[in-house]
Every structure is written in structure tokens, then in C-alpha cells.
Amino acid sequence: MEELYTLEREVGRGSYGVVFEGRMAKSGQRVAIKRLPCSNPECIELYLQELWAMRATAMNHVNVIALHSCLLQTGPRSLNTLKPGKLPLRLVESVLKGSVVGAKQSQGRTGVQSNTKRRTNSASRLQDRTNTAQARANLQNMDKSSAPDYTTPQRPQNRGRKRPAPREEEQTAPLRCLALWLVMEYCDGGDLNQYLLSRPPDAQRNHSVVRQLCSAVAFLHSLGITHRDLKPDNVLVCVTPKGPVVKVADFGLSKMSVGSVDGGLTRQHFSSTCGSDFYMAPEVWGGLTYTAQADIFSLGVMFWAVLERITFLEEGTAQEQLGAYVCKGRSGWLMPLGEALWENADLQLCIPMKFKRAPPLPPPPGPAMRALLLDMLASNPDARPLADQLETRVRAALREDSH
């Protein structure tokens, strides 16, 4: 690691890994380095999905986090850069076999699960895989001569198919894959919660964030990527003299789809109930099949929270989170919007919020933006605007309300 990168300090820790601030040894450029321990097949599958989605965004978009490289750890000090077209077969085998290849038989499977996320189960993961098999085949046909060194993992589509013989170095390697290290661009502003809530409200800044998020999700959907876990925690911020540049990150729950042209992405259905409670769409809450339009609902929750500076404290935490919700009963119990709309599809959302909040606050959304938010938060996914329409509609609404 020291030959390529230096680790300086830990900047984040979650259920699935640790993020460090580091520097490239040769250039001194700051990078974020995420260590993902390959301790069980469920985690490994999420890591490969994240690597796969980030490789698909190799064309790069200013509002999507950039991946510089990926390293494979096989020993305490053994790290190798993944080369184009390469993927350790042991990681693929771990996912397909349901046990970590190379691990001692006595080891139990100890998947770690976040309290705020609903992770996929094995049956629904398998079903989602069949929905995206063709997308993986399409990715294999990308021009490898221009592909960077974080090539997409390609898993066998059929468990019964004969796997190519491993190369000599793979046959003789005695150690299992201990961890993946993802080297990404560094964002000095923290996540969107930290950035916005540490500063006084500013309407122009909020509008800029909303427009940038529209652009990012339109880009992802144009590539056939459904994020499935959009929330302020998964949006990072780079501070620049011209203002914040936001970056959509964390693709562990993302899925690739085919037919993303002319609205075809909305016909690709998923069945895994996953995401974070306060941002999940009603159809996901209800356990129905859903499409990329679930991302639009999550964006609507975020936009409402950003524009009105709505926050909540999730049970068991002390950190304020940006997010919209429905207040139930006299006790003020908070219910996620998606859950409330699943229980009552005709529920009337009050935009702007009616109850008092501590000043200072930004001005409430104008009539045009309120109408757009209600469209994004519609119970019926087909009534929500498509991602490629959203940026134009947001700009038009903000312009209309400014007059």
C-alpha cells in the first residue's frame, strides 16, 4: 500500500467498511480509500455491485463519485491492483456458493446489517440478478482499450455453467481474499447532511444542490443504473470557490438494467426490499416490484428536506438528518413518507410544513416547486417524472417561482 498510497486518518466507519483519507504516493493528490472486508458472501456481493456500478460510470460525471482504482488484499501486507478484465474467481465463488472461499469450515456466516437499511434476501437477490444479466453482457462489450483499471466484476449467469480454468497464479495462491480497497476522489465537505446543516440556510445553495442531484440521477439512469439507496448520507460534497459540488456515492445496493432509452428503464422491475426507511418509495415499503422511479421518490424526499431544511433524529441516534416525514398522533411520532403513502395512497402532503421550526429558515418552496415535489412524491410511480425530464422541470420551476 505504501508504494501506491498513504493512509492519513479515518474519516468514516459504517456497517460494511472503513473510509480513510489518504494520498497518492507519487502525486500527493488526496484520495478517499474505502476498505471493504470480505468476511461473508452477502457483503462480498454488495462490494462487487458497487465496483461494477462505479466502473459503468467510468465516462465520469461531475456529480458522481469517481473511482481511481481497486486493490485486492490477500494477506496482511499483500495488495494487488485489479487490472482490466480481471476479477478474483474466489470472490465470485464466494457469492455463488454462499460461503467464503478459502475460509475455515468452522467459521460462521456473520453478516452485519445496518439498523437503518433493509438489505436484500437471497431469493430476491437471485431474481434481481436475472433482470440484469443482459446488462452485464452489454458491459463486457465496452471498449476495453479505453477502460480504466477498475473493470466491472462479471459473474457467471448460470451456476451450472463450466467456469474457465483459473490462471496459474490463482491456482497457487494460498490465501483467500481478505478485503477490497476502493480508491476514490476525496470530498472535503463531508456528506450532504454535514455540509448543509453546518451552515446557515442559503436558498441559492439549496437550489444548486437540487439541480446537481437531478443531473447525477439522470446520468445514472441513462446508463441503466438504479441507485436504490439515495439519501443525504450517500451524497458527498466537494467545497469549491464557486460553491458546493455534490457527488452521488455508495452503489452497494445499485442495479444495472437494460432498455434505458425512451423510458425503458421504468419497465425493468426489481423485487428486493432495500434502501433506508425515510427515503424508500411506497411500492418498496409494500414489498411490490418496483422500477427506477423509486429513485425519483427518494430524490423528492431529499429535495423537500433540503429546500425547507427539514430534519429529524432517527431512533437510537443523536445526529440530525435531512429528511421529510409525516407526523402521526399527538405524541409526534415520525412516520416515513413512503410508509404513510403505502398505508394511504390518497394522503395529502402539506408543502410547506405547517408546524414551527427553529429559525433561521430558508424561504418555503414556491407554487411551481411545490407542484413538482408532489409529482415526485406521487404514490403511483408512473405519475412521477422521469429522470431525464426532471432537471428541465426543476430549472423551470425555480425560475418561475423566482418571478
DSSP states of 110-167 as a string? -----TTEEPPPHHHHHHHHHHHHHHHHHHHTS-GGG--S-PPP---S-TTSPPPPPP
Phi, psi at 49, each rounded to 5° = -65, -40
Put residue 326 in one of left, alpha, beta given phi > 0 → left and psi -120 to 50 → alpha: beta
Q: Are 5 and 24 in contact (CB under 8 A)?
A: yes
**Of 60, 178, 36, whose CA–CA distance to 112 is shortest?**
36
DSSP H or E stretch at residue 320 = strand 320-322
Scan for cell 480508491, then name that residue. Answer: 183
Alpha carbons 279 and 300: distance in angstroms, whole number = 9
Alpha carbons 177 and 179: distance in angstroms, whole number = 6
Scan for cell 454488495, then name that residue. Answer: 46
Active site residues: 229
Lay out the sheet containing 5-13: strands in order across. Answer: 5-13, 18-24, 30-37, 179-185, 67-75, 78-81
| Peptide bond preceding 360 in cis form (omega within 30 of 0) | yes
Burial of 401 (0-12, 13-18, 19+ CB in 10 A): middle
Provide the Cα torsion 293, 294, 299, 301; round to 10°.
130
Alpha carbons 190 and 30: distance in angstroms, whole number = 14
